[in-house]
Structure 1
Amino acid sequence: MKFLYILQNKNVKNGILYTVFSFINSGISFILLLILAKYLTPGDYGSLNLFTTFVTLVNIIISLCTVSYVSICFFQKSKEQLNQVIVIALVTTTIMLFILSSILLAMPNYIEQIIGIPSKYLWLGLLICYFQVYNALNLDIWRLEEKPVQYGLYGVSFAICNFILTFWLIVGLHFNWAGRVYAWTLLSIIYFIISVLFLFKRRYLSISKPQLSLVKETFIYALPLIPHTVSFWLKQGLDRYIINYFHNQTSVGFYSFALNLAAVITIIGTAFNSTNSVYIYKKLSNGSAAVRDGLNRQATLMSVAFLIISILVGFCAYTLIKLFMNSYDESIPYIIPLCLGSFFHCLYLLWVNYLFYYKKTQKLMFVTLSTALLQIIFSMILTRYSILYTAYTSMVVSFITLLLVYILSKKILNNEFEVK
């Protein structure tokens, strides 16, 4: 009876649904990963990862992190104010698209040399990032509305279409790694249209002039998140460019392959956080000391679960390469440190939500940016000697970031509940 009662709990049911859809998405992405590794050389695989890294960076910059404020306003503002925040985010994104396009238009050769891929793909990367803001906004609102079925079906359908189209372009039409870029671009456009229609239908898109105070409030919250979010790109994305600088794109391919295998752990942690963050925000909005203790117990249990998952993923990654992917043998030494780094990131996700809820984004910015700079310094010094040093540097910095966020979150929680 107790088991049935637990299953009837809305947060548990939503968590199970998010996890199931996450496993489906991860499975599809993982199979695509193996196919790309089979049909692409390590050099081509490295080029694709350099493009993906570029898209990840632009994704951070293009909205100036204003979209992140939607999650907070969903529980703290009226529907009218929420819509105004959405308008602020989308107008900001459009302005940034023009600014970034102007920069790329002004110095295409210089940027192409830095990124390491032709500028025509960089233009497609800008379009992908712009359209993804709308897709991410649509998904985020479904998550906040606690509608995991719509959220999951939308994500799974994108993953399936992406798999089919990428496979056809790379294997059937021999577009090489560029086939992945073309598939990504086309699907981003299609799902952008779908997202806009859904947002209009649910009355989250409306033409209204935002209050000046709300504009100021949005940017006060969002701007400190830019260095915070960029710090994660610096920790993983910049490593690939540093490896490419001191070694070559083939080395980037080996490192990226191991990183993508370890990312399965992060994907699972992020999927759990999709529902857990909403659960935490709701609890904190009307919480007590008992709620705090319950959240602490939950974090402990999930830490053990993530440790078990990390061990299993590491073992499976090693076995997979040894038995089926011999051409990627050079990726094996990176598996342990990168899996541990992903494990620490999952624990970080368990605690960082408290900093978001209590709007301590400036403190979070200092933590993540300082640790990112620390990683850059050591990566620049050590990567020239061995890429393995890069992997272990990433692992250690992930642990330091987790430790600092944990200390901050515990302190803030204790202070908040003492006040209550």
Structure 2
Amino acid sequence: MLSQIKRLGADSLLYAFMNVGTKLIAFIMLPVYTSFLSKTQYGIVDILDRLTSMLTFLVIFGTDSALSFYYYDTKDENKRLLYVQNVMYFRLFVVAILFLLVVVAGPWFAEKILENSRYVDLLYVNLFTLLLDTIFVVVTTVMRFEFQTKKVVLFTVLKMLLVAFLSYMALKFFSSTPSGLFMGRLVSSVVVFVLMLRMTWNYLKFRIQWPILKEILVYAAPLAPTSIAFWVISNSSTFFIQGFSSLEEVGVFGVALRLAMMITLVTSGVQMAWRPYSMSVKDKEDSPYIFAKIYMALLLLGLFGVMVVATVSPWVMKTFFAPSYYEAYQYVAFLSCVTFLNFYYLIISVGLFFKKETGYITRIFAMAALLNIGLNFALVPFFTGWGAVIANMATYVFAVSFIFRKSQQVYYVPVSFAKMAFLFVNTLISTSAIVYVQETKMGATFILLSWVYFLIMVLASRVDREFRRQPATENL
């Protein structure tokens, strides 16, 4: 058991280094970008980024999970290559369809979505970037499956550095508009594609085999609506804010969402290592006990990260951002909690992936998406940003709770849901207290008291007992 956990830890550490590096670069560049762009212009960037994320879900179409399963399900290297090639060309085909749609109706899309038809050029730039990023993601995914962690880290960090540098140069010397930012991203993707061409070439050889593609899509198709539901949950608030308020408010809320991603400094390394790791140990006799310890350890780590984000957000906004963006800080901690739940469902749903019951995830997130739309419609017109925060939090609590329950039914992991819920609720109480203290300027002493309450609740939960559980057959 210890050796397996050590391997996850080693890979997670490298991925954490990569993600900490890339997230820090993104964090450093966010105030740089907002210094060039007005709140309205940044609102346009945020809207386009959310549209691109939806298109990314459509391109992937659940094939990431399918490729993960079938790649480990066979030891035949040629068949593994076939799986990769079929996934690659399926995704490129979807990108081609998207290009065709923009050619036919691009100006209309730009007018309806971005409020100006001249932004159609941004749609083309984003699609070219999506094309190159699709190839990059497939190749680095295979590297992860092969535990080539160092290569994944190297190319990912390099890509992010190029995005930061070239986007800054484009904004400064080419155009201080969204066009400059997106051109910098496109050129970065071109450079990385050229650098990786040698190792990419084998996966770009055209070898479509319908039985292989059908096998992939049968596994993936139930997850595709889930991806669309994810997009709705993650992004509908932005469009409700745009509809009921303005692009300026979208810009402020978009900055809060970006800063909320700071929590992924803690979680993203584990997320990248988790699928290969969990699939590789699922048949071990003591795997449920391994997962139980990981469930609880990651929950504690994530909740601690939310508390840290809540504490430092005002200082971050005041130090690095223009005063017009300062109000975003109040949303950041709660959106960080939402971001953590979006990660955590992947961890606690292993049973559904092992037993091929991923259709349940689709049904739950379809309901969650409808819930999210309803809550946004009811709350955003009256509470704007806070309405969006409440809608997203309630949505993910609903989804994670039901997914965990079902996963436990098909693959039991000996961990206490009651303790997990207790810790989560008390973290929300502590976080709310910190934000209230910051809003009312009550002083650092009361923030310290909020931390004391949080730590007392962790100790009171006796979470240490979860880590001491062992299989009955294990020699102590």
Structure 1 residues 287 and 63: alpha-carbon distance in aligned structure 2, compared to 1, 3 A threshold:
same
* Structure 2 gap segments, 5+ residues each: 414-470, 472-476
Aligned with 1:28 (options 4, 25, 40): 25
Aligned residues of 2:13 and 2:269 also touching (Cα < 8 A): no
- Structure 2 distance, partners of 1:109, 1:13, is 49
Length, aligned pairs only: 407
Q: Is 2:296 the counterpart of 1:297?
A: no
- Structure 2 distance, partners of 1:22, 1:52, is 19
Residue 230 of structure 1 corresponds to: 228
Aligned residues of 1:306 and 1:346 also touching (Cα < 8 A): no
Residue 254 of structure 2 corresponds to: 256
Structure 1 residues 43 and 111: alpha-carbon distance in aligned structure 2, compared to 1, 3 A threshold:
same
- Structure 2 distance, partners of 1:293, 1:216, is 35
- Structure 1 distance, partners of 2:64, 2:345, is 21
Residue 394 of structure 1 corresponds to: 392
Aligned residues of 1:266 and 1:345 also touching (Cα < 8 A): no
Structure 1 residues 3-402: aligned runs within 5 Å: 9-77=6-74, 78-116=76-114, 118-200=119-201, 203-210=202-209, 212-266=210-264, 268-284=266-282, 286-288=283-285, 290-325=286-321, 326-387=323-384, 388-402=386-400
* Structure 1 gap segments, 5+ residues each: none
Aligned residues of 1:162 and 1:183 also touching (Cα < 8 A): yes
Cα drift, residue 253 of structure 1: 0.5
The one-letter code sitting in structure 2 at the alignment partner of 1:309 is G
The one-letter code sitting in structure 1 at the alignment partner of 2:169 is W
- Structure 2 distance, partners of 1:375, 1:250, is 22
Cα drift, residue 239 of structure 1: 1.7
Aligned residues of 2:22 and 2:157 also touching (Cα < 8 A): yes
Structure 1 residues 42 and 136: alpha-carbon distance in aligned structure 2, compared to 1, 3 A threshold:
same
Instruction: Give CA-to-partner distance per residue, 1:12-47, whole Å, 9 cap, x none.
Output: 222211111211111111101121122221111111
The one-letter code sitting in structure 1 at the alignment partner of 2:296 is T
The one-letter code sitting in structure 1 at the alignment partner of 2:207 is S
- Structure 2 distance, partners of 1:278, 1:362, is 21
For the residue of structure 1 that corresponds to 2:356, the secondary structure is coil
Aligned residues of 1:7 and 1:13 also touching (Cα < 8 A): no
- Structure 1 distance, partners of 2:163, 2:217, is 34
Cα drift, residue 209 of structure 1: 4.3
For the residue of structure 2 that corresponds to 1:146, the secondary structure is coil
Cα drift, residue 206 of structure 1: 4.1
* Structural RMSD (CA): 2.2
TM-score (norm 2): 0.80
For the residue of structure 1 that corresponds to 2:349, the secondary structure is helix
Aligned residues of 2:313 and 2:333 also touching (Cα < 8 A): no
Identity %: 17
For the residue of structure 2 that corresponds to 1:96, the secondary structure is helix
- Structure 2 distance, partners of 1:8, 1:355, is 21
Cα drift, residue 382 of structure 1: 1.9
- Structure 2 distance, partners of 1:307, 1:166, is 33
Cα drift, residue 324 of structure 1: 4.2
Structure 1 residues 209 and 277: alpha-carbon distance in aligned structure 2, compared to 1, 3 A threshold:
closer
Instruction: Give CA-to-partner distance per residue, 1:31-64, whole Å, 9 cap, x none.
Output: 0112112222111111111111111111111343
Aligned residues of 1:65 and 1:226 also touching (Cα < 8 A): yes
Instruction: Give CA-to-partner distance per residue, 1:160-198, whole Å, 9 cap, x none.
Output: 111111111113434322221001111222323344421
Cα drift, residue 100 of structure 1: 1.9
Instruction: Give CA-to-partner distance per residue, 1:275-312, whole Å, 9 cap, x none.
Output: 1222111110x222x22112111110111011111111
Aligned residues of 1:270 and 1:349 also touching (Cα < 8 A): no
For the residue of structure 1 that corresponds to 2:411, the secondary structure is helix
- Structure 2 distance, partners of 1:192, 1:98, is 18
- Structure 2 distance, partners of 1:317, 1:129, is 31
Structure 1 residues 130 and 65: alpha-carbon distance in aligned structure 2, compared to 1, 3 A threshold:
farther
Q: Which structure has the bigger radius of gyration?
A: 2
The one-letter code sitting in structure 2 at the alignment partner of 1:208 is R
Instruction: Give CA-to-partner distance per residue, 1:38-97, whole Å, 9 cap, x none.
Output: 222111111111111111111111343334422212211222222222222222223323
Cα drift, residue 140 of structure 1: 0.8
Structure 1 residues 207 and 390: alpha-carbon distance in aligned structure 2, compared to 1, 3 A threshold:
closer
Instruction: Give CA-to-partner distance per residue, 1:205-255, whole Å, 9 cap, x none.
Output: 544341x33222111111222211111211122221221111111000110
- Structure 2 distance, partners of 1:17, 1:209, is 34
Cα drift, residue 366 of structure 1: 0.7
- Structure 2 distance, partners of 1:79, 1:6, is 26
- Structure 1 distance, partners of 2:281, 2:223, is 23
